[in-house]
Amino acid sequence: MVLLLAFQSLAKGQVEVEMADVMRADGKIYVVVSVLLIIFIGLIMYLINLDRKVSKIENK
C-alpha cells in the first residue's frame, strides 16, 4: 500500500523539492536582501567618489 502510494506520487511527478518558502513568507529574507543592497550601494558610492577624484585630477 505504501509502495503503491509512493509510485503514485512519483508517477504524478510530485516530488517535493525543498525551497525556502517559509523563509520568504515570514522568515524576513527581505531583511537580508536589504542588507545586501545597502552594502552594494555603499560600495558603488565609494566607486563614484573615486571616479570624481580622478576627474578632478584630470581637469587640473
Strands of the chain, DSSP E: none
Among 20, 22, 25, 31, binds other proteins (CB under 8 A): 20
Binding positions for other proteins, 23-52, rule CB under 8 A: 24, 29-30, 32-33, 36-37, 40-41, 44, 47-48, 50-51
Give least dist CB 1 to other proteins, A. 25
The Cα 34–Cα 43 span in angstroms is 14
Distance of CA 20 to the CA centre of its chain: 11
* Structure-derived torsion over alpha carbons of residues 47, 49, 54, 56, reported in degrees to the nearest 10: 160
Rule CB under 8 A: which residues touch other proteins? 15, 17-20, 24, 29-30, 32-33, 36-37, 40-41, 44, 47-48, 50-51, 54, 57-58
